[in-house]
Structure formats: structure tokens, C-alpha cells
Chains A and B, each alone.
Chain A
Amino acid sequence: MTMTKLQLITKGFIKDNPTFVLVLGMCPTLATTTSAINGMSMGLATLFVLVLSNMAISAVAPYVPDKVHIPAYIVIIATFVTVLQFLMQAYTPAMYETLGLFIPLIVVNCIVLGRAEAFANKHTVIESACDGLGIGLGFTLSLTLLGMVREILGTGSVFGWKFITGDGILAFVMAPGAFLCLGYLMVLFNKLAKKNK
């Protein structure tokens, strides 16, 4: 089955949504989505790494012997993550501080290595870039949505813009709320994904 490039990009939104349908990369998903803007930044950071690592890995895959492909891929992914870290520290220090530990943890995000293994090493550079873009956008969309829901319920604001006075339901900003929101959104997305089939 071959997909067009557009299909490669859009499949990440619902059908192969990395968070709600593939259920990959749960650790940053739960931890960084305390607000919409944090979730979106984390998603975009992962998108950046995913596109570049997918392209680099698809380019070198034919030359890497099977025995060492995982170490080679991890080195490539770690390089892009570190590059991203330097860039964020230099140009968006405030955002770097908020996301902190979760930027270096993109290295071990299963979405990134997962796409390298499942897609990039069997496809061309262009196709892999589209796949990275699609999955990355899907991830960004999911994290922003999750962050938005938690921010609305938890603090009564959207992207930092407050529409109620006082507090929301604080539990939603903390870990239990993350699991609750994730569960309900997962139900919703799986329903949508089934319908689309």
C-alpha cells in the first residue's frame, strides 16, 4: 500500500495519531501538557527532531549494517536533540526553562525511534520527511489539545488568557487530571479513527 505525500502528512492527525491512537510518547505527553502553550512547544520541539532525524536516518539507512542500526539511529537522534537544546537555550531561554528536562528526553521518546524503525529506514528521504511532519503535527495537535483541556478545566484560561476569576479544578493541572483527560480524549479519537476506516 502506497500513500500519497499528503496522506503521509495528514494520517498523523487522526488515523495514526501518535498520542491517542498509537499511544506512544506518554511520558512527555502527561508531564508537559499543564497548559496549551507548554503542550504546543513540546509538540513543536518533537516535530523538529522527528523531521530531521527521519530524513537523516532514511538517507543513511542503506549503508548502516543491521547489527548496529539502533546505536547509529540513537546517535543521530541525540545529535538533533542536542542541537535543538542549544538553539532553544540561545533563542527561547524562557521556553527552554519551562520544558527543562523533557527536551533531552526527546532522545528516548518512542515516537522518534519508532518512526525511524517503522518508516524512515524503508522509505526515501522525501517520504520520511513527510511522515515526520505528519506524525510531528499529530503529536503537536494532541499535546496542544490536551494542554488546552487541562488549562481550561484546571485554571480557567486558554493560552494564558483567563476567562474566569479565581481557580479552576486544580486537580486537572496535576498528574491525575492528565490521566483523566488523556483517557477521555483517547476514547474520542479512537471513535473518530474507527469511523474514518
Chain B
Amino acid sequence: MVLCLFTVCLACSSVLAAVYVVTKAPIDKAAAAKTTKAIALVVPDFDSDPEESAVSLNGQEMNYYTVRKNGEIAGYAIESTTSGFGGPLTLMVGVTPDGKVYNTSVLVCNETPGLGAKCLTDKAFINQFKNLDPAVEHLSVKKDGGDVDAITASTITSRAYTLAISNAVEAFKNIKGE
């Protein structure tokens, strides 16, 4: 009985070890490709490998990636997490060296399908953050006195999305200050 379970476990773990070794490289590649894709989407054209570092904002560590074009900094892609309606909402926010938001993309989203999850597809909502100058436009939803048009019936998601961006802008100021 003991021997039998032992054999089964041994065989299973060997299979797992083999599969793990075979798939490790493609998994890492897929994860790296995903990050690079998200970075490329939110910052202007660049030719360097993204440099990963972290900045703290109000005691929270935030990862960010610096990208360069011809040696000059082209922009920062900042990972920013806030609480949405259905759990954490993580954005990649691209900020150019002059402090403007270049573009945003969603990394983690657990929002309600058909309502909050529209933050992934609603062009009118997403595009209002393109080339946005936080010095001119007030980064909060109109209901709260800001300049952001919220997604209909998804104020909490819109708030979380907007907060993630304004946190990234604050983090950018810290990066600059360092």
C-alpha cells in the first residue's frame, strides 16, 4: 500500500519535473513578451531594453520601466494598482519625461463583464487619457468634480482607473525627484 502510493507519487513528480523543464523557457518568454507589449503600448517609440526599477508612493512600492530612444529617456511605464469593483485593477501607465500621460493599458482586471470590464474596450473612455496633461486636466471623474467622463453605470471602475493614473503621475514626480 505504502509502496504503491510511493510509486504513483514518484512517477507523477517525475512527469511534472520533465514538463516543467520543457515549458519553463516558453513560459518566461510569454511573460516577458506580455510585459514588453504592455510597455510598448503606453510609451512613445523607444529602442532600448526596458529597465525595471521601483519607486515608493505613500509607502507603497510601484514597479516601473524606463525606456530610452538614442540614449535619451523616452518615457516611463509605471505599474499602478488600485481597488476596482471586483478586486485589484492594475494599469500600465506611460508617462513622458515632461509629465504627460502618453497612454494606458490594463494589466489585471476583475471588473464586471459588460459594465466595469468595458474599461478594456470602451474607446471613448480609454482615449481620453491619451496625451493627457495632468497639469491642465483634473484627473478625477466628473461626478467628483474632475474632467474624466466615467463609463456609464461603472463609476467605481472609472474612479479606480482614474486614481491609478493619478497615482502613476504622483509616482512619476517621485521618480523625477530622485
Residues of A within 8 A of B (CB): 34, 60, 63-65, 67-68, 71-72, 75-76, 78-79, 82-83, 86-87, 89-91, 93, 154-155, 167-168, 170, 173-174
Residues of A close to B114: CB separation below 8 A: 154-155, 167-168, 170, 173-174
What is the CA–CA distance of A91 and B24 in the complex, to the nearest angstrom?
A: 11
Closest residue of B by beta carbon distance from A168: B114
Tell whether, in the assembled complex, residue B26 and residue A91 are in contact, meaning their CB atoms are under 8 Å apart. Answer: yes
Tell whether, in the assembled complex, residue B15 and residue A64 are in contact, meaning their CB atoms are under 8 Å apart. Answer: no
* Residue B12 CB within 8 A of the other chain: yes
B22 to chain A, nearest CB (A): 8
Closest residue of B by beta carbon distance from A94: B34
Residues of B within 8 A of A (CB): 1, 4-5, 8-9, 12-13, 15-16, 19-20, 23, 26-27, 30-31, 34, 112-115
Q: Which of A67, A72, A91 has the most CB of B within 10 A?
A: A72
| A–B pairs, 12, beta carbons within 8 Å | A64-B8, A78-B12, A79-B12, A83-B15, A87-B19, A90-B27, A91-B26, A91-B30, A154-B113, A155-B113, A173-B114, A174-B112
Q: Which of A83, A90, A170, A173 has the most CB of B within 10 A?
A: A90
What is the CA–CA distance of A89 and B27 in the complex, to the nearest angstrom?
A: 6
Q: Which of A64, A82, A83, A155 has the most CB of B within 10 A?
A: A83
Contacts A75-B9, A86-B19, A167-B114 known; 10 new A-B pairs at CB < 8 A: A34-B113, A63-B4, A65-B1, A65-B4, A71-B5, A83-B15, A86-B27, A90-B23, A154-B114, A174-B112
Tell whether, in the assembled complex, residue A79 and residue B20 are in contact, meaning their CB atoms are under 8 Å apart. Answer: no
Residues of B close to A83: CB separation below 8 A: 15-16, 19
Tell whether, in the assembled complex, residue B34 and residue A93 are in contact, meaning their CB atoms are under 8 Å apart. Answer: yes
Contact of B23 among A60, A64, A89, A168 (CB under 8 A): A89
Residues of B close to A68: CB separation below 8 A: 1, 4-5
B117 to chain A, nearest CB (A): 9
What is the CA–CA distance of A72 and B114 in the complex, to the nearest angstrom?
A: 42
What is the CA–CA distance of A71 and B13 in the complex, to the nearest angstrom?
A: 14
